[in-house]
Chains A and B, each alone.
Chain A
Amino acid sequence: MRVLFKTSYNDDIRLFPDRWTLAVYAALLALAVLLPVLLDEFYIGEVTNVLIWAIAGLGLMLLTGQTGQVSLGHAAFLAIGCYTNTILIEAGLPFIVAFPLAGVITGVVGAIIAIPALRLHGIYLAIATIALSILADDIIVLLDPWTGGVSGKFPAVITIFGLEIERWTMPVRFYYLVLVVTMICTLFYRNLLRAPLGRAFAAVRDSEISATAMGVHIARTKVKAFGLSCMITGWAGALMGYYAGAFNNETFSLVISITLLMMIVIGGLGSIHGAFFGAVVVAFLPQVLSIAKGAMIGGSVAIPGLETGVFGLILILFILFEPMGLYGRWLKIRTWFELFPFARKDMFRRQKSYLKTERLR
């Protein structure tokens, strides 16, 4: 068991609490960098997919896990990011400018949309944001001159200082690009968590009334959460466009929104790890299922709704038995080893929460 001995307040602010953690993440990064040497190009593509989903997950996690605002409209923001990026590059901007800008524009749009949506809470917010997902489809068709409507668009070629990156012919380069974006998004998320704004997000999530009494402006904080969440989601959307190779009005459907939300629940709400764990499940589940199906009943038989069914089942099992998601399970396993043999079964049992003051809504 490691014992942390803190000697300055900086110890609590640092990205990594101690050298051991730093070493673990450094090793993880080294592994990620060396991955193209270890795996063939097909699997690199799959890992890239996981990372893209993880970025999208980080975006939604910031809003839902951190600020407590459920959104089923994030497919729309993926679409905005994707189309904006492509349109900006076609307009002549270099990728290195267009890509960040696409995220920022998505964030601004998200913040504007958030202003009316803020008056809604919980399930009503979820329903209102579903409308967003559905509307996105029609809006893309209506904006045919820019979006290509039903026939769709191909993502513009990425050129960074003369270095060309293409998802199909150079999956390794694309993988490194996605890895860098993932690291930047994770760093942003981490920075927010240790800054006043991240705490304000958690305050809004846990008790709006006392957050207000502490001087947190609820509406402004939620708008910021929406904006930042949509910015990260916009970047994920742009990368998803590249990964898919072509996209149209149906690419970013409501199903994507729902999958995204299920992903962060399965991964573990409110943690960065949760977004990554959830992304692994979402990205690999179809592959695992098709392999399993092939082994059991032969690959040629099609079972409609198999993926959705299994996904739903996993979600139900998690909500029933492990509401903290995969990350929660991981924490329990780690604690068990760290404290061995002193871990107790009830260590993670939540105390019943006490009566709440009536909500002022």
Chain B
Amino acid sequence: MSLLEIKEATLKFGGVVAVNNLSLSVEEGEVYAIVGPNGAGKSTVFNLISRFYQPFSGSITFDGQNLLDRAPDQVADLGIARTFQNIELFDHATVLQNLLVGRHRHRKTSLVEELFFAPRVRREEIAHREVVEEVIDFLDLQPYRDKMIAGLPYGVRKVVELGRALATGPKLLLLDEPASGLSVEETQDMRWWIDDIRKQMGITVLMVEHDMGLVSSVSDRVLALADGAKLAEGTPAEVQADPAVIEAYLGVGAV
């Protein structure tokens, strides 16, 4: 059984069909990439999985459970973490605090315990911190641990957002354009991280990305979207060679 399965999902905004009868399934342990021109509905698919949008029809199941039964804040509890295309960090908090928010779904303490900072709160804080420190080691974020997000360069923010998603301890990681706005070296780092996330941590990755170099080097399967519908699906090489994909990107008779 697939880890994530979207069946015949459709979403309309007024007259615009953002996602049109789309089906896809992501297998456990793979890196699955969604490509497509701007406005193809890639981020909308993510927002469907995050439950920010409610599909008109169709079903989404994750790990055998119906995702459409869940509220947006319960999605993280199932083990789905995500990043955002335009970076949605908590700007007036430190890197460490941002990463610790990622541990939010694992907290067990009550309001009263936290008001009095009971010993259990301290124990849990230290346990969370240990997990977060592993993420910091993994992503080389040590120099920025106590820095405010508001003062960090774009590339670092991108990594912090990845770290925050990893800190939640997810089964499925949704990366919305992980390499957009990154330099060549930073993209290279991102590539290794995605590889390690899959191989070392065993986390399934679903990503939206424009950088075909990154897509073809890390992903097992690629889905090409255009106007909210599936254009082609297969290995990176297959999709890149697909005539329909070439047409959507370059137009007819361009070759």
Give the number of residues in A that approach B within 8 Å (Cβ atoms). 40
A121 interfacial by beta-carbon distance below 8 Å: no
B104 and A199 form a contact (CB under 8 A): yes
A209 and B84 form a contact (CB under 8 A): yes
A197 interfacial by beta-carbon distance below 8 Å: yes
A212 interfacial by beta-carbon distance below 8 Å: yes
Provide the residues of chain B in CB contact with A224, threshold 8 Å.
111
Segment at the B interface, from A30-38, A331-339, A351-359: A351-359
B90 and A213 form a contact (CB under 8 A): no
Closest residue on chain B to residue A231 by CB atoms: B115
B77 interfacial by beta-carbon distance below 8 Å: yes
Q: Give the docked Cα–Cα distance between A294 and B84 (Å).
A: 60
B window 70-128: CB within 8 A of A: 71-77, 81-82, 84-93, 96-97, 100-105, 107, 109, 111, 114-117, 121-122, 124-126
Among A194, A197, A210, A218, point to the contact of B90 (Cβ < 8 A).
A210
B249 interfacial by beta-carbon distance below 8 Å: no
A357 and B85 form a contact (CB under 8 A): yes
Closest residue on chain A to residue B132 by CB atoms: A9
Q: Give the docked Cα–Cα distance between A354 and B84 (Å).
A: 12
Chain B contact patch, size range: 35 or more
Q: How far is the CB of B168 from chain A (nearest CB, A)?
A: 6
Proximity string of chain B (127-143) to chain A, C-beta cutoff 8 Å, 1 when within and 0 when not: 00110010000000000
Q: Give the docked Cα–Cα distance between A317 and B60 (Å).
A: 54
Q: How far is the CB of B170 from chain A (nearest CB, A)?
A: 11
Given the known A-B contacts A9-B130, A216-B73, are A200 and B89 also in contact in the complex, defined by CB atoms under 8 Å?
A: no
A214 and B76 form a contact (CB under 8 A): yes
Provide the residues of chain A in CB contact with B56, threshold 8 Å.
none
Among B76, B101, B153, B157, find the residue whose CB has the most chain A CB atoms closer than 10 A.
B101
Q: How far is the CB of B53 from chain A (nearest CB, A)?
A: 9
Given A192-B114, A213-B84, A217-B71, 16 new contacts (CB under 8 A): A191-B116, A195-B114, A195-B121, A196-B107, A196-B109, A199-B101, A202-B93, A203-B93, A207-B89, A207-B90, A210-B88, A210-B89, A213-B81, A214-B168, A216-B101, A360-B52
- Across the A-B interface, the 4 shortest Cβ-Cβ residue pairs: A215-B76, A210-B88, A215-B105, A195-B114
Spell out B's residues near A (CB within 8 Å).
Answer: 50, 52, 71-77, 81-82, 84-93, 96-97, 100-105, 107, 109, 111, 114-117, 121-122, 124-126, 129-130, 133, 150-154, 157, 164, 168
7 contacts between A and B (CB under 8 A): A12-B129, A192-B114, A195-B121, A202-B92, A207-B91, A213-B75, A213-B82
